[in-house]
Homo-oligomer: A and B are copies of this chain.
């Protein structure tokens, strides 16, 4: 591997995040979708996550890394996130799909700020797929419009998704300091820039909640 350990870590966590999102979204589609069209729509989002997995895995191979080895350190944290955030129904599954892919996209964007151009191009390809989760937004908005009290419960659910993601993220950062360092490389000596990073993440999450109407 020509690149630093941090880059293999970064691509490894992204690859396993995509692979586990694919598996989980597909399971949710089978378990919770109220109609066959809905099952197909959530499956389509899952399949686009698998396409991202393939892009990131191929990049790891191109860099001379073993994909299984690169992903292994992150299996426990990401599986843990999915175990802690099993949806209890279709709307929770849709909110999780939208919030989960949104957090992943934020992570890609922050990574792209600090990485070499070939990896930034990969990130562009993934981010361009963002509108695929729009069907989730439409369904949740319609459900909340028809049943306004549902909004409060779904907002709590979204906060729990983010809270569990932060908690697993802290475990990963503690176990893989090179990765944490890579993501804050340019900003580690600048407290104001770290504050702006958190402000960006919070702002993006707020936009997603507003889009969902919750």
Residues of chain A having any CB pair with chain B under 8 Å: 16, 19, 22-23, 26-27, 29-30, 35-37, 39-40, 43-44, 46-47, 50, 53-54, 57, 67-68, 71-72, 75
Contacts and interface: CB of A to CB of B under 8 A. Distances in A.
A19 B43 CA distance: 9
B19 A23 contact: no
7 contacts: A19-B36, A23-B29, A23-B39, A26-B46, A27-B30, A37-B67, A44-B54
A30 B35 contact: no
Contacts of A75: 36
- 3 pairs of A and B residues whose beta carbons are closest in the complex: A26-B26, A23-B30, A36-B68
A108 to B, nearest CB: 20
Total copies of this chain within the assembly: 2
Contacts of A57: 40
A116 to B, nearest CB: 25
A31 to B, nearest CB: 9
Contacts of A43: 19, 22-23, 50
Contacts of A71: 36
B19 A40 contact: yes
Residue from A22, A27, A67 with most neighbouring chain B CB atoms (10 Å): A22
B19 A39 contact: yes
A90 to B, nearest CB: 15
A66 to B, nearest CB: 9
Given A19-B43, A22-B43, A68 B37 contact: yes
